[in-house]
A = this chain, B = another copy of it.
Amino acid sequence: MGVTLSDVALKAGVSRAAVSRTFTAGASVSAKMRARVEAAAQELGYSPNLLARSLTTRKTQLVGLVSNNFHNPVFLQIFDLFTKGLQERGLRPLLVNLSDETDPARSVQMLRQYSVEGVIVATSHLPDGFARAFRDGGVAVVHAFGRPTGQTDVVGIDNVAAGQMAAQTLIARGYRHLGFMGGPEQASTTQDRLAGFTAAARALGGVVSHSFAGAYSFEAGRVEMTRLLAHPRAEAYFCADDVLSIGALSAAQAAGLGVPDDLGLIGLNDMHMAAWANINLTTIHQPFDAIVSGAIDLMQDRFADPNRAAQTRLFPCHIVDRGTLRAQS
């Protein structure tokens, strides 16, 4: 802090332009000059001010990473992947927690004030007008884990297909009475997974019921499953999220039910925790690394061509067989 380009120029006895050029990749500087400047810079402990640089280059390398899922452990994995992926490409994530924000427009405003080049929204639900506000501001937005709209770049999975996959799996394992436990009813992920699940189950001769937990959380899953168990229940449930499944699993165990013998459970995500020995959840794997790097790719594509049409990139899921569903019959 404090040591500027001019200081280095002065010390090295050269012009400011010369110093600038030695610090910009691909500029033409003689080896002698470069050595001289670098020596001076070294001695002074200089490093260029990226914020000032951005003024003329119009490149900040800043990216907004926006989410409101700070309670579902899977998002720690997701943040890990995003931060690593962005760092590898020289981008810097400005983390925005939307949880308590009543007015998302304020976050949009703030991100624009910091001249972010792109924004990655990692939520199933994107607040209205969010994407448009950024597009109008010339900021690349990618919606990770969202529902395709054709208006915005979206990267994720086909949630309808995932629901179908769950239903097919349950039927194939010999379950007939199937239940779907969603997260919040408004969440597009819940809606789409339910739609796919119900359609496929019916098509295969299954009987389907469904209900919703209040949140994508352990407690919501536990409470909802406890409620369900008080009534005539399904033979197997598809919970729309792993953490929900773990709550449901806990409720089943508390009720003295054997899983998978008395009750089958299948989740979705395949978060690390699903593999924990005391959980051992059969679940649908969502390819997080592909989604994350796909999202970053799409964002960078848009840096290159701000006017290209919106793209949707969906990756295939697969079943990870563990201990909460009985074996193929």
Contact = CB atoms under 8 A, between A and B. Distances in A.
Contacts of A36: none
B55 A83 contact: no
Given A47-B109, A55-B51, A250-B277, A138 B1 contact: yes
Interface string A243-272: 000110111011000000000000000001
A93 B92 contact: no
B73 A138 contact: no
A310 interface: no
A92 B106 CA distance: 13
A316 to B, nearest CB: 26
A329 interface: no
Interface in A78-94: 79-80, 83-84, 87, 92-94
A112 interface: yes
A300 to B, nearest CB: 18
A77 B75 CA distance: 11
A304 B272 CA distance: 43
Given A80-B97, A83-B95, A1 B218 contact: no
Contacts of A45: 136
A79 B79 contact: yes
**9 A-B pairs with least C-beta separation:** A70-B80, A83-B97, A250-B278, A1-B138, A76-B76, A95-B95, A50-B113, A73-B73, A51-B51
